[in-house]
Amino acid sequence: MRALVIGEALIDIVERGGQVIGEHVGGSPLNVAIGLARLGRDVDFLTHIGTDQRGERIRGYVESAGAHLVPGSTQASRTATARAVLDAAGSATYSFDIDWQLSGTPEAAPPVVVHTGSIAAVLEPGCLATKALVDTYHLSATVTFDPNIRAGLIADADAARSRIDRLLERADVVKASHEDLRWIDPARTPEQIATAWLALGPSIVVVTFGADGAVAMCAGGTVRVPAGHVHVVDTVGAGDAFMTGLIDALWSMDLLGADRRARLAAIGTDALTTAVRAATLASALTVARPGADLPDRNSVDSAASSEILG
């Protein structure tokens, strides 16, 4: 009963008002791996970092959270960085220095769930290996996917959209922000895109709208869940925390694994609402503190009985 997370790990260099205010371990898939481990899940993380000082910092961060760094993840010539510039509301705009590569089959136990997305899904050459691994693990595991678009890294938008479509066909659970969907297809509403994605094969498609909450769709219908009532420090890691909370909730419902794919496809709106509320809670706890500091199980359990979600 392990998760395998495939994707980039990097160092976020955070700026506000023209000043560097900190460096944090980051990367969307890394945040999901860390978040699941903090919630007590067994996690293997396959990435591409160096053995430089920043790479060793990432390794230590992963291991301290209780996740396992898959062998072969430390072959990069340098560890990637992302410069995150915060605006007055705490929203981040990113620029990247990253080389994304993968090779071979990871030395990891068979997973019950495989998660990927963001840069790992679209940046060559590693995106090709990412897709091949998803194809392989789809036979035995639930596949979760968050496109988490980083437009500044995408040179060929049509090719990126095509790669996203191919991953959607393998995914069981998809989460995307409304900004992602606006970039993918500005001619349609996020709800229209989500409906079209649901027809491609996923059992669940969720669209997040920041302070306006989330909309989730399954074969049984559509649900809407409000955002949490917290003071927002910054939004770094908010979507990753949401994805983490969603995976964890479905795991607790015993809906993960290829042998449970039919049960996941039959999820009802009540169960879906419960899962999305758990995801929203994890996101709310994350935006209430600086950086992508995803909550642990004790924090989530303590907040579950509060008024955060109204």
Q: What is the pLDDT of residue 15?
A: 87
Q: CB neighbours of 47 closer than 8 A, spacing ≥ 6?
A: 6, 7, 8, 9, 27, 29, 30, 58, 69, 70, 73
Token representation of residue 139: 């036979």
- Amino acid occupying residue 7: G
Token representation of residue 242: 């949401």
Sign of CA dihedral 184, 190, 192, 193: positive
Residue 113, pLDDT above cutoff 70: yes
Report pLDDT digits (tens) over 146-158.
999 998 889 899 9
SS3 179: helix
Please, how many CA atoms are within 13 Å of residue 232, restricted to the half-sphere of its CB? 18
Residue 110: asked if its preceding bond is cis (omega within 30°), the reply is: no
Report pLDDT digits (tens) over 170-212.
999 999 999 999 999 999 999 999 999 999 999 999 999 999 9
Q: Are the CB atoms for 239 and 175 separated by under 8 Å? A: yes
What is the rounded CA–CA span in Å between residue 35 and residue 139?
25
Percent of the chain with pLDDT over 70: 99
204-208 and 221-225 strand pairing: unpaired
Q: What is the pLDDT of residue 70?
A: 95
What is the rounded CA–CA span in Å between residue 103 and residue 305?
45
What's the pTM? 0.94
Mean pLDDT of 36-60: 97
What is the rounded CA–CA span in Å between residue 250 and residue 228?
20
Q: Are the CB atoms for 190 and 242 separated by under 8 Å? A: no
Sign of CA dihedral 266, 114, 32, 256: positive
Q: What is the pLDDT of residue 217?
A: 98
Residue 40 DSSP label: T
SS3 299: helix
Q: What is the pLDDT of residue 82?
A: 86
Strand order in the sheet with 142-146: 68-69, 42-46, 2-6, 111-117, 142-146, 173-177, 204-208, 214-218, 221-225
Sign of CA dihedral 134, 251, 70, 74: positive
Q: What is the pLDDT of residue 310?
A: 62
